[in-house]
Structure 1
Amino acid sequence: MAETKLTAEEAQALRTVLCAVVVKRRTGELGIIHGAERFVSTHRILKQADRDALDGAARKLGLGSIREYAG
């Protein structure tokens, strides 16, 4: 796959979205934390390879790892 370049605005938009994303540790369910630590599901389950890819993308954007939710 060819290398993709992001504009500064695109990278900032992805940072904004990815900093809100969490993955349930046990099931791989993708969601966000809303309010007082309430998990809101996107009804998507990520396989480990997809979780690793998402984590890698977040690190490239300077966010560190995608947060995991234990609940």
Structure 2
Amino acid sequence: MAHADIGGSGIEAGVLDLLQRERDKSLSDREWKFRLAGYGYAIKDVKGARIVTKLPQGHELGVLPTHLD
């Protein structure tokens, strides 16, 4: 499994836009994660950082930016 670069984002702009749009529509963190799963993405906690992953393989895309945390 690939490991995310904890120092930088590395997430494509289109994915970041999707994350932001769905975050704005969600009333809670749990709802946001549920909505992301419908698009094939997940967020997991690794060593204190939140990592965006691609489902179902769990391929790590990068660190979730702090403004979305």
Does TM, normalized by the shorter one, top 0.5? no
Give the TM-score taking structure 1 as reference length.
0.31
| Greater share of residues in strand | 1
- TM-score computed with the length of structure 2 as normaliser: 0.32
Which of the two has higher C-alpha Rg? 1
Which has the higher relative contact order, 1 or 2, with Cα contacts under 8 A spaced 6 or more apart? 2
